Amino acid sequence: MATMLERRLGLPQATAINMIDMVGIGPFITMPMVIGMMNGPYFLYAWIAGAALSFVDAMIWSELGAAFPRAGGSYNFLKEAYGRNGAGKMMSFLFVWQTMIQAPLVIASAAIGFASYFTYLLPLQPMAFKAVSGGMVVLIVVLLYRKIEAIGKISIFLWLGVMVSLFWIIGGGIAAGNFMQPIAEINEGLTFNYAFVTAIGYASVKSVYSYLGYYNVCHLGGEIINPTKNIPRSMFISIAGITILYLAMNISVVSVIPWEHAKDSEFVVSLFMQELAGHTTAKILTVLILWIAFASVFSATLGYSRIPYAAAVDGAFFKVFAKLHPTKNFPHISLLFLGSVAFVFSMMFKLSDVISAILAMRILIQFVGQAIGLLLLRKQRSPDDFPFKMPFYPWPVYIAIAMWVGILWSTGMVLVVSGLVVIGLGIVAYFVKAGINREWPFVKADS
């Protein structure tokens, strides 16, 4: 029986996995939300802000991912940063604790978004809507139930569909002849004041959601070829490419459908194509958007399934999650569990309930926690332990922390409190577990 993951994913596969996770249904459902929150042609600045945060944060992920290229990503980063036998035990436990909730939420959000856009093709009654979203999760699990090299090939295939869809949307706007108009009008009516800063803060919650996934390669660190180079490269290539595509897609859509109308449209991209080429062509594009949503769930589920596995192998989580499939060599118990919970969530929640909740739940432990952790590691270890070194260290780390705290505040007090409650319950669970097993802080840490 196989006991270790194999390094079979190169730079093209790693980049494709990141990009299809990043795109998903996010930009299609959040585009009207962002426009409505900014309420002006300067809504593009919210997408630029999301890209800036992603790029800065990717520097942190790159340093950590290149230094600790193992399955589980943040689980390993937090454990190393806060001490393998000390507080790192609690921090890594808290990350897995929240992952068991927020990972299925991420998967469910894409599945619900898939079903929402599907209603452009065929109106669905509530039960049929749930059947579509739940059925998508089931199909994803079936596709992921195979060897990693086969998954790499599927990822490239799905990525091609994503690129075709985005370039078709962008090309349609360019062909319409008004592509440059939204750029020329970007500052029309703009006043840089408290209202603008507040608006871009709230709008960035939605735009950042659409960029999430640039770090997915870190969760697959144990399966990446030449990880010290390919993990950072895949992230920066992914963010740069997706930023250009997002901006071009937004410009393309509002060059045909004015932002005043786009902000109120649930199927804005489908209506954009309907305006250009008719209802039948719009349906074809909608099918491709559904392809993108499917690809995103595929990529996200793949990455998240490695986190409980990594923790279980390390002895910090239930042993059953450490099992690999006897012939296909992937963490099948972890995949089946997360898929099952995501299936239930996809049947229970509305899309509007999960987008902000996803960010609020993960910011403090994952993003801010590992940013502070990198500062600690840089003081404790030799520079040679970090194959990738960010420029202008430590300023990108400070900027990322400040931006994440701002995003967290913008999710709203209810979700901030909810996130803190989840963390609080996780701390209680950890101390109960640590007391039973005589782990930190109930025994003296060795390091």
Q: pLDDT of the chain along its 447 residues, tens only? A: 455 788 989 999 999 989 988 887 788 888 999 999 999 999 999 999 999 999 999 999 999 999 999 988 999 999 999 998 899 999 999 999 998 888 898 888 888 889 988 999 999 999 999 999 999 999 999 988 888 778 788 888 888 888 899 999 999 999 998 999 999 999 998 888 888 988 998 898 889 989 999 999 999 999 999 999 999 999 999 999 999 999 999 999 999 999 999 998 888 999 999 999 999 999 999 998 888 888 888 888 888 898 899 888 888 888 889 999 988 888 999 999 999 999 999 988 777 667 777 888 889 999 999 999 999 999 999 999 999 999 999 999 999 999 999 999 888 888 888 889 989 999 998 999 899 888 899 975 554
- Overall number of domains in the chain: 1
- Closest listed residue to residue 373, CA positions, set 86, 14, 70, 55: 86
* Residue 101 belongs to some domain of the structure: yes
* Residue 443 belongs to some domain of the structure: no
The packing angle between helices 148-176 and 227-256, to 10°, is 30
* Residue 4 belongs to some domain of the structure: no
* Residue 166 belongs to some domain of the structure: yes
Radius of gyration of the chain (CA): 21
The CATH number assigned to the domain holding 69 equals: 1.20.1740.10
* Residue 442 belongs to some domain of the structure: no
* Residue 194 belongs to some domain of the structure: yes
* Residue 117 belongs to some domain of the structure: yes
Inter-residue contact 255 to 265 (CB < 8 Å): no
* Residue 445 belongs to some domain of the structure: no
The separation between the first and the last C-alpha atoms of the chain, rounded to the nearest angstrom, is 33
H helices present in 381-445, as ranges:
395-410, 413-437
Q: Could you tell me the residue range of the domain that residue 312 belongs to?
A: 11-437
